[in-house]
Amino acid sequence: ENDFQRHRDSHLELVAALQKMGMKMLIDEPFRLPMINTLYCPDRIHELAVRRRLLNEFMIEIGGGLGRLAGKIWRIGLMGHTARKENVVRFLEALDKAMKTG
């Protein structure tokens, strides 16, 4: 129960911050899983460039979309150790920096 709550809390913190940044989630709230967070990449942002910068500069890997969603969404995992407040904050800071030049 504690692990599930930690995942849920991390998910809620991530989603709230992403929405505050103007991002839109792909999945409606009642159907979301706390461990996998999918959101639309903003139109003004080069999706792959941001993912590459996250990986190369910040050692953070997120997934892109597949099939018809390729180049349009990001998939952010919050599983195990990554589902912690400090990791959510680290990711959000890195994403903000990566989008400014990505």
Q: What is the pLDDT of residues 20-30, one digit of tens each?
A: 999 999 999 99
Q: List, for residues 36-82, the tens digit of each pLDDT value.
A: 999 999 988 999 999 999 999 999 999 999 999 999 999 999 999 88
Euclidean distance between CA atoms 54 and 90, whole angstroms: 11
Q: With 0-12 CB in 10 A as exposed, 13-18 as middle and 19+ as buried, what is 30?
A: exposed
Give the model's pLDDT for residue 81.
Answer: 87
The answer to whether residue 102 scores a pLDDT higher than 90 is no
DSSP letter for 69, please.
G
* 48 contacts 71 by C-beta, under 8 angstroms: yes
